[in-house]
Amino acid sequence: MEKNPWVIQSQKTIYDNPWITVTEYGVLNPSGNPGIYGKVHFKNTAVGILALDEEKNIYLVGQYRFATDSYSWEIPEGGELVSADPMAGAKRELLEETGLQAKNWEVLLTMHLSNSVSDEKAIVYLATGLTQHLSSPEETEQLVVKKMPLEQAYQLVEQGVITDSISVAAILKTKLLFGEGKGK
């Protein structure tokens, strides 16, 4: 393991809400010169769910994203407190957003989403053995759920229609695992 070349001399909270804390650090950089560094600490682990049925269809959720001021198609996603079980959050989000429950769960991938300025970690699960139930989106969500073949979702990634990083990574990884002529 490499040694941390940054020396923290001071820190102060700039902003704090239920989801994030922004901290400004007074530092000595790796060259030994003084500077500042800002870090966004996420209080939740991001969870994504690639729900895959027996016919290699996946489920996407469409919604308007405030931060990017654009409509986004993505796999079901949400967050779970860093101190809690991320799979519990994934199960809740899948049911809440799509009405689906899964019999089988496995970690598909783990990622850091923007490691130059944040500590946000994402865990993406592959959910199979799906059954349909009622969905119950949060009051902040106006969702459209779309079921489509994995290959079609992959094409939407290739065309730049799906741009959400968790969704892009999950679809590409699933395409590698289950693409044409593949499967578990």
Q: What is the mean pLDDT of each run of 10 residues along the chain (184 residues)?
A: 92 98 97 97 98 97 94 96 97 95 98 96 98 82 92 98 98 92 62
> Which residue in 110, 98, 101 sits closest to 148, CA to CA?
98
Q: Say if 71 falls within a structural domain.
A: yes
Q: Say if 184 falls within a structural domain.
A: no
Instruction: Please check whether residues 32 and 116 belong to one and the same domain.
Output: no
Q: For residue 159, what is the DSSP state? A: T
SS3 97: helix
SS3 103: strand
Distance separating alpha carbons of residues 46 and 77, to the nearest angstrom: 7
pLDDT of the residue at 51: 98
pLDDT of the residue at 184: 58
Instruction: Please check whether residues 33 and 53 belong to one and the same domain.
Output: no
pLDDT of the residue at 1: 64
Sequence length of the chain is 184
**Number of domains making up the chain:** 2
Q: Say if 2 falls within a structural domain.
A: no
pTM of full prediction above 0.75: yes
Instruction: Please check whether residues 48 and 38 belong to one and the same domain.
Output: no
Distance separating alpha carbons of residues 22 and 98, to the nearest angstrom: 32
Instruction: Please check whether residues 12 and 62 belong to one and the same domain.
Output: no
pLDDT of the residue at 162: 98
pLDDT of the residue at 138: 73
Q: For residue 116, what is the DSSP state? A: T
Domain that holds residue 116: 44-178
Instruction: Please check whether residues 103 and 129 belong to one and the same domain.
Output: yes
Instruction: Please check whether residues 76 and 87 belong to one and the same domain.
Output: yes
Q: Say if 183 falls within a structural domain.
A: no
> Which residue in 70, 74, 99 sits closest to 166, CA to CA?
74
pLDDT of the residue at 181: 62
Instruction: Please check whether residues 34 and 109 belong to one and the same domain.
Output: no
Task: Report the chain's terminal Cα–Cα distance, integer Å.
Answer: 35
Instruction: Give the CATH number, domain containing residue 102.
Output: 3.90.79.10
Distance separating alpha carbons of residues 124 and 145, to the nearest angstrom: 18
